Amino acid sequence: MRLAVLDRDRCQPKMCGFQCIKFCPRVRTGDETIVEGEDGKPVISEELCVGCGICVKRCPFGSIMIIGLPEKLEEPTHRYGKNGFALYGLPVPTVGKVTGILGPNGIGKSTAINILSGTLKPNLGKGKISWEEILKHYAGTALHDYLEGVSKGKIKTSQKPQYVDMIPRKFKGKAWDLLSKTDERGILKELLSKLDIANIIDRRIEELSGGELQRVALAACIAKDADFYFIDEISPYLDIYQRIKAAQLIRELAEKKAVMVVEHDLAILDLLADIVHIAYGTPGGFGVITHPKGVRVGINEYLKGYLREENVRIRTEAIEFEVHAPQVTKEISSLLKFGRFTKKYEEGFELVALGGEIRKGEVTGIVGPNGIGKSTFVKILAGEIQPTEGKLEMNIKVSYKPQYIKAEEPVATGDFLRSINKQLDTSYYQTEILRPLQLERLLNQPVSDLSGGELQRVAIAACLSRAADLYLLDEPSAHLDVEQRVLATKVIRRFAENNKVTAMVVDHDIYMIDMLSDRLLVFEGQPMVRGEVHGPFNMREGMNRFLKNIGITFRRDEETKRPRVNKLDSRLDRTQKAEGEYYYSMDKT
């Protein structure tokens, strides 16, 4: 079985003269394998296509995908017209459980949620179709009763959006004005306290930080009285402690409601979900949502890249973690030594750096709670702001990717990156940066039209494109899916090693920090009041110190060696705290 998918936004027949039609071998023999449609775009016959891939290679805009599907896939759950994206399968909402969806962006998760919420009617790949035929198709399955409720308008849904930084564009006013409209369950005051946002409700939405917006959006979603709650990523902009608090709130909600979450921080998804559906396929082409799996089994299969029950390989290589913390590294020459300096703000916050050394060719992770001065420290190293006391001798070139990225450039992505580095078209640049960051298909798109995840990858590429001795990346994992985070991690790591340059990365994703870092800078103190910079430490010492400060322990899964959050006050949590091992205990369950 074969799918032919056309990205209609990218397709520009007037500029290429229908290269796909001109070079199609079947068209040359007289078949109408590709014809011009009524809208002036090509229409590809999946029945006549032989899968040679010539049209894919000849299309100058990368708008065609020819995909060979697994034979056992039946008719799609939904398809967006002829040569459109196809979704196979649906996740099953279950009252009393948190259902997770794990998979890359562009794989159909939003389509599935739109169907479950009633905003999109599934067409089974047939165009117009009646609810009677849809319900007949799902008769005898766990989804039948739920979809019947959707068809009759009996299912009320509440949704937290993925990109919370877009909220200020759609709502003007104070946080309280937004939240007070959502309190249908009468629990808003309790949510404000648990999410630690009671002190910001009188501030305007556009004045809130990303972490504050994330918690406001979560409170607004949970406060509504609904049958089905969909929560799209709680982790961006939140530190580990805030993520775990949010996860606990969602689990409380799921005791009486059906809750479904998409989350790319696997440590938090592991803690949060009871069951998971794996979504796989070709982003933008087709997506398959598996039957539910136990959360541990599902995440482990996803990391290995092989789904045992479906007998499908979704990745050529497994995502691997080190069994033990990296050992103390050999002597490496110093790139930067800094003495004590401070930065004070009129609002009262003070950052104190006690002094340290950054080595050449290393990747240093930066960890600590929000509001503790991590971004301030990085901005000082980048020369964006100056210390209040003390002097920082920076006789090196620095490239900086900020935490919050603005997409105001009207130019094409490729032209934007070429303006930074003219080596864009060299084989090294394409192999080491563009291809792994999946940017080749974005080069002709305006930067201002990119999504949050696309913009993040372009920002990482732009940072690494500048000639520098020190590369500073503030939260590069935000809005990236699991696959993209792993690829970004490899790109940053390999770039530092191959070019013998230093990278410093601020992030809250423990998986990313674990795979990326040689050493750690640990920020301690009282958020929004005072922060202190300690280290760098080796990984074992640094993570133990960091996690001890926030009272959380991690273990490692025996099968995949991935970090897993221990439930607070569990037997293993108490044992590890007593032993002072907050991060590296092996999971034997």
Q: How far apart are CA 106 and CA 100, in angstroms?
A: 16
Q: How far apart are CA 284 and CA 272, in angstroms?
A: 28
Q: Is the pLDDT of residue 32 over 90?
A: yes
44: tokens are 């590809």
Predicted confidence (pLDDT) per residue in 343-383, tens digit: 999 878 999 999 899 999 899 999 998 889 999 999 999 99
Identify whether the C-beta of residue 215 lies closer than 8 Å to the C-beta of residue 197.
Answer: yes
The correct CATH number of 334-550 out of 3.30.565.10, 3.30.465.10, 3.40.50.300, 3.60.10.10 is 3.40.50.300
Buried b (16+ CB within 10 A) or exposed e, 424-445: beeeebeebbbebbbbebbbbb
Q: How far apart are CA 438 and CA 454, in angstroms?
A: 9
Q: How far apart are CA 134 and CA 143, in angstroms?
A: 11
Average pLDDT over residues 553-582: 88
Do the two domains 72-156+226-235+246-318 and 334-550 of this chain adopt the same fold?
A: yes
CA distances, 30 to each of 22, 24, 34, 40 (Å): 12, 10, 11, 20
Average pLDDT over residues 431-437: 92
CA 260-264-269 angle, 5° bins: 55
How many Cβ atoms are within 10 Å of 502's Cβ, its own excluded? 24
> Can you list the positions of beta strands (E) in 116-263?
157-160, 228-232, 258-262
Among 58-72, 145-159, 310-324, which is the least confidently predicted range? Answer: 310-324
- Helix 240-253 to helix 210-223 angle (10° resolution) is 10
| pLDDT of res. 409 | 66
Going by the DSSP 8-state scheme, the letter that residue 375 receives in this structure is: H
Q: How far apart are CA 70 and CA 301, in angstroms?
A: 18
549: tokens are 């400060």
Closest CA to 104 of 266, 264, 334, 325: 264
**Architecture of the domain delimited by 2-68:** 2-Layer Sandwich (3.30)
Which of the four pLDDT bands, split at 50, 70 and 90, describes residue 322?
Answer: low
Predicted confidence (pLDDT) per residue in 271-316, tens digit: 899 999 999 999 889 999 999 999 999 999 999 999 999 888 988 8
109 or 100: which leads in pLDDT: 100
Average pLDDT over residues 461-483: 92
325 or 496: which leads in pLDDT: 496
Q: How far apart are CA 582 and CA 585, in angstroms?
A: 8
Q: How far apart are CA 165 and CA 231, in angstroms?
A: 15
Phi, psi angles (nearest 5°) of residue 351: -110, 130
Closest CA to 308 of 588, 559, 562: 559
How many Cβ atoms are within 10 Å of 29's Cβ, its own excluded? 8
DSSP letters along 445-508, please?
SBGGG--HHHHHHHHHHHHHHS--SEEEEE-TTTT--HHHHHHHHHHHHHHHHHHT-EEEEE--
| pLDDT of res. 293 | 95
410 or 221: which leads in pLDDT: 221
How many Cβ atoms are within 10 Å of 15's Cβ, its own excluded? 9
Residue 140, exposed/middle/buried by CB under 10 A (0-12, 13-18, 19+)? exposed
Average pLDDT over residues 181-205: 92
Please report, rounded to a whole number, the percentage of residues in the chain having pLDDT higher than 70.
Answer: 97
Pairing of strands 258-262, 228-232: parallel
Identify whether the C-beta of residue 293 lies closer than 8 Å to the C-beta of residue 275.
Answer: yes
| pLDDT of res. 589 | 47
Predicted confidence (pLDDT) per residue in 34-57, tens digit: 999 999 999 999 999 999 999 999
Residues 6+ apart with CB under 8 A from 160: 217, 218, 220, 221, 230, 231, 232, 234
Pairing of strands 306-307, 312-313: antiparallel
Show me where the domains of the chain are located. Answer: 2-68, 72-156+226-235+246-318, 164-225, 334-550, 551-588
Going by the DSSP 8-state scheme, the letter that residue 198 receives in this structure is: G
- Residue 355 φ/ψ region, left for φ over 0, alpha for ψ in the -120 to 50 degree band, beta for the rest: left
Which of the four pLDDT bands, split at 50, 70 and 90, describes residue 325?
Answer: very low
Closest CA to 447 of 420, 483, 467, 474: 420
| pLDDT of res. 320 | 79
Average pLDDT over residues 541-562: 88
| pLDDT of res. 326 | 47
Q: How far apart are CA 350 and CA 523, in angstroms?
A: 12
Q: Is the pLDDT of residue 186 over 50?
A: yes
| pLDDT of res. 318 | 85
Closest CA to 382 of 397, 367, 372, 368: 397
Going by the DSSP 8-state scheme, the letter that residue 572 receives in this structure is: H
Average pLDDT over residues 510-526: 91
What is the topology classification, in CATH, of domain 72-156+226-235+246-318?
A: Rossmann fold (3.40.50)
Q: How far apart are CA 28 and CA 24, in angstroms?
A: 6
* Residue for token pair 């990313």: 512
Closest CA to 235 of 517, 507, 527: 507
244: tokens are 């775990």
Q: How far apart are CA 556 and CA 572, in angstroms?
A: 12
376: tokens are 């301030």
Q: How far apart are CA 125 and CA 212, in angstroms?
A: 41
